[in-house]
Amino acid sequence: MPSIGSLAAVAMLLVSGAHAHFQVQHPDVIQPFVDDSEPDAPCGGYTPDPAKLNATDFHVDGDWLSTRQTHPYSNWLYRITTDLTAAGNWTEIYPIFRQTGQGEFCIPKVTVPQNFTGQTAILGFVSDAPDGLLYQCAAVRFVEGSVEAPAECKNASGVTADYISDSNLSPLVNNPSEEKATSFGVSARSDTFRGLGAMFTVGVMVMVGAFMVV
């Protein structure tokens, strides 16, 4: 009788080859984007070349971040560093949260400490997904002021978000957030419900895996 753990591992292996993880919609990420390399820290398969960065302006008093995931859920960390090789010294710029549901997720007003104004930096996206940690990086230039998010900044229907603590993500920054008591909007579902949801997801993955083997 195989253990639940090994079944889950098999399911995750099957799933990892089966879909596209996640992509960043905004700001533009450093190329090339290689889906299979997304598990490679710190940026998804490459080290940024400081001499060749094509930085996008990011407004320190409010700018938008947009992603699209193909996972049923994942936990997100947004982080920045002025080390343009992305080797370390990361600062968290938004509390770690769980996105439940596939598709677009956009936060319209992400702020950065004002003393970053004028600096060029790497903005890192890390997703703690059912198939492991996944990475992407954008090159940004911090500018003053704020910007209104455009219409393309939207959440897929049915997607929800809750702040969460994540012991895989918090060591990846110098200033990890405490778990927030409040949720994004609708008040938090209980941890029990969340746990059951995760077990259901793994159960479905195992069944899909078994189906693919047969």
Q: Which residue has the tokens 């409040």?
A: 182
d(CA 177, CA 162): 14
Q: Which sign, positive or negative, has the C-alpha torsion 112, 93, 153, 49?
A: positive
State the nearest-atom distance from the C-beta of 18 to ligand NAG, in Å: 26
Residue 120 binds to ligand NAG (criterion: CB under 6 A)? no
State the nearest-atom distance from the C-beta of 35 to Cu ion, in Å: 9
Nearer to ligand NAG, 63 or 131 (CB): 63
> Element (H or E) spanning 195, and its range?
helix 191-213
d(CA 94, CA 98): 12
Enter the tokens of residue 49. Answer: 């070349």
Q: How many CB atoms lie within 10 A of CB 71?
A: 21
Enter the tokens of residue 173. Answer: 């920054």
**21 contact, one of ligand NAG, Cu ion, none, CB 5-8 Å limit per kind:** Cu ion
State the nearest-atom distance from the C-beta of 183 to ligand NAG, in Å: 8
State the nearest-atom distance from the C-beta of 77 to ligand NAG, in Å: 16
Among 23, 39, 83, 130, binds ligand NAG (CB under 6 A): 83
Nearer to Cu ion, 21 or 79 (CB): 21
Residue 86 binds to ligand NAG (criterion: CB under 6 A)? no
Nearer to Cu ion, 65 or 133 (CB): 133
Q: Which residue has the tokens 């600062």?
A: 91
d(CA 63, CA 56): 11
Pairing of strands 63-69, 132-143: unpaired
Residue 154 binds to ligand NAG (criterion: CB under 6 A)? yes
Coil/strand/helix, residue 41: coil
Q: Which residue has the tokens 């490459």?
A: 46
Among 22, 76, 116, 163, binds ligand NAG (CB under 6 A): 116
Among 33, 46, 94, 184, binds ligand NAG (CB under 6 A): 184
Interface with ligand NAG (CB under 6 A), residue total: 20
State the nearest-atom distance from the C-beta of 67 to Cu ion, in Å: 13
Residue 140 binds to ligand NAG (criterion: CB under 6 A)? no
Considering just the CA atoms, what is the radius of gyration of the chain in Å? 18
Give the footprint of ligand NAG on this chain (CB under 6 A). Answer: 28, 54, 56, 82-83, 89, 91, 106-108, 113, 115-116, 119, 153-155, 161, 184-185
